[in-house]
Each structure stands twice: as C-alpha cells, then as structure tokens.
Amino acid sequence: MTLLNGKALAAKIKERVREEAATLPRRPGLAVVLVGNDPASRVYVTSKRKDCEECGFYSEEYALLEDATQAELLELVETLNGREDIDGILVQLPLPKHLNEEAVIEAISPQKDVDGFHPMSAGNLLIGRPGFLPCTPAGVMELLDEYGVDPAGKRAAVVGRSNIVGKPMALLLLRRSATVTVCHSKTSNLAEICSQADILVSAVGRTKLITADMVKSGAVVVDVAMNRDENGRLCGDVDYAAVASKASFITPVPGGVGPMTRAVLMQNTLLAAKQHQNLA
Ligand code: NAP
C-alpha cells in the first residue's frame, strides 16, 4: 500500500506557485470574506492567510458580524469585484442561515471565482471548457496524477453528490475517462457499487462509512471527509486501518486531501492573477 501524501505534494505545489508568483509584475491578491463566528471557518480563514504568506500573495480578510445583511455582503463583493489589486474572492461557507449563499456566489465575478463555485465555473467544468475548478476535487486529481494513477478505463465510485465536492469530482474523473458511479444517501446498494470500484472517493462526512468489505482489493481509496472521532481526533469516512491493508493507494486523514485543497486555492489565485494581468 502506498500513501497518497497530500501534505508533501501540497508543499511542492505551493513552492512552485511562490516561484511563479514572484515573476509577475504585480503579486496575486486574495480577499477572504468571513461572516459570523463559526469556529471551523475561522480556522480555515487563518490557514488561507498563512498559505498566502507562504506563496508571497497579498491577502485581505473581512470579518462581518453574524447578523450582517445580504445587502452588506453583496456590496462588499461588488467592491472587491472592482478592485485592481484583488484577483481572487473567497466567501467562506457556510454562511449564516439568513443569507442567500447562491446569490452571494453568483455575485462574485467569474474572473475572480477562485473557489470554482460560480455557475459559470460549474458550467465550464460540465462542458469541458477551461475555467476555475473547485479546489477539493481538483486537488484529488493532482494527487492521483502525482502517483501515476490514470483514471482512464477504470471504474470509479464517488460517494457524495454535493456541488462543491461529489459532483465536480465525478465530472473530473469522467473527463479523464473513468466510468463513474455517483452514490448518495438514497443509494440502495452502496457496498456493492463501492466494492467494484478501482478508484473509490468518499466525500460524505460519516466516520467509518467505508469499511474494508466495501473495498476492492488493490483499489485506490481517496477519503475527502473531515470528521471527528469519539476522541475528538480528525478522521475521514474510511475505516482506515482495515481498508489500508486492502488498498493499493490511500489518502491519510489528516495529511491527504485537506492540504491539497489549500494548495489548489493558491494555484487558482495565481491563475486568476495571471489572467487579470493578461499573462494567461
Ligand atoms: P455535504 O454537502 O453534506 O454532502 C454529503 C453527501 O453525502 C451528500 O450528497 C449526501 O447525500 C451523501 N450522504 C450522506 N449520507 C450518506 C450515506 N449514508 N451514504 C451515502 N451517501 C451519503 O458535504 P460536502 O460539503 O460535500 O463534504 C463532504 C465531506 O467532505 C465532509 O466531511 C466535509 O467536511 C469534507 N470536506 C473536506 C474538504 C477537504 O478539503 N478535505 C473540503 C470540503 C469538504 P444526499 O445528497 O442524498 O443528501
């Protein structure tokens, strides 16, 4: 079994991004908008600031109060859309319940949509045009490429169908000519489908959902989830110890997909900056 070491690859990617960013006439700029006090979101925002520092980017953070209005948030996005020194805009999700997430995502200029969540980016992915890819599934593809896992002709199962992970993951695997099955909470024969997969990606958020009997011997197993076990430790959907002994490649949690997501955000911001400066 080989570990798909996302931490190591992410460090390599960020180093490449830093080197390329240093050659641009103007350094890339990322604005991160946080609304409210969600502790996990705060952690994510802090790590994005750190990543920007590592890559030599300019970064700004906006912390809006929990009771911020839709109009306030849209006005901020509009201002950031017009800023010459800001190449990427990221609104940290989830937003407080009273705000309309879809409308906020749609308000971000597609040229600055470094999260890849705008309907324009989603449409480009669907029809195979270039565009910003959602960071997590794009990070998984980079990890597979790094370890020489070619999806072409393979059977892939993606568990989870969210707009930010499951669906784009399935489309990216399809783009690379895998035969893809997408599973979700209403899938009746999850174990059977998973056990036929050469590449199994789980993005659900349920500890030990994927047990060893659901995994084909020699399969490539990618665990996107970030859950907490009964001791409060970070873990994924996959029953790691048992599955690792059957898999050919497997991502650890932590140190697998998480760091790749962050690295791809930096790549996307670099791309946005190059396009903004007419260099790509
Ligand atoms: P989400 O929006 O809650 O989607 C979860 C998906 O899992 C849904 O499609 C749901 O099906 C499906 N599901 C729920 N129970 C299931 C079951 N018993 N069997 C099969 N499918 C089931 O979550 P998300 O935003 O995609 O995130 C998924 C996980 O990835 C979470 O743990 C999250 O923390 C993690 N994540 C990690 C990263 C990273 O950087 N590593 C980034 C993003 C997310 P329905 O559609 O039928 O409800």
- Residue 115 appears among annotated catalytic residues: yes
Q: How far is CA 9 from the centre of its chain?
A: 15
- Residue 92 appears among annotated catalytic residues: yes
What pLDDT, on the 0 to 100 scale, is given for residue 32? 98
What pLDDT, in 10s, does the model give residues 221-272?
A: 999 999 999 999 999 999 999 999 999 999 999 999 999 999 999 999 999 9
Confidence of residue 213 (pLDDT cuts 50, 70, 90): very high
Report CA(160)–ligand 1 centroid distance (Å).
5
Report CA(203)–ligand 1 centroid distance (Å).
5
Q: Which of 115, 198, 223, 237 is catalytic?
A: 115
What pLDDT, on the 0 to 100 scale, is given for residue 142? 98
What pLDDT, on the 0 to 100 scale, is given for residue 98? 98
Under a CB-based contact definition with an 8 Å cutoff, are residues 249 and 4 in contact?
Answer: yes
What pLDDT, on the 0 to 100 scale, is given for residue 105? 98
Report CA(164)–ligand 1 centroid distance (Å).
9
Report CA(185)–ligand 1 centroid distance (Å).
10
| Closest atom of ligand 1 to CA, residue 161 | 9
Confidence of residue 189 (pLDDT cuts 50, 70, 90): very high
What pLDDT, on the 0 to 100 scale, is given for residue 157? 99
What pLDDT, in 10s, does the model give residues 5-59?
A: 999 999 999 999 999 999 999 999 999 999 999 999 999 999 999 999 999 999 9
What pLDDT, on the 0 to 100 scale, is given for residue 29? 98
What pLDDT, in 10s, does the model give residues 87-132?
A: 999 999 999 999 999 999 999 999 999 999 999 999 999 999 999 9
Encoded tokens for 33: 């908008």
Closest residue to atom 48 of ligand 1, CA basis: 185
Q: Which of 204, 207, 224, 238 to mutate to test the pocket of ligand 1 (most atoms within 8 A of CB)?
A: 204
- List ligand 1's pocket residues with C-beta within 6 A: 136, 159-162, 164-166, 183-187, 190, 203-206, 209, 224-227, 257-258, 261
* 28 vs 127: CA distance, rounded Å: 28
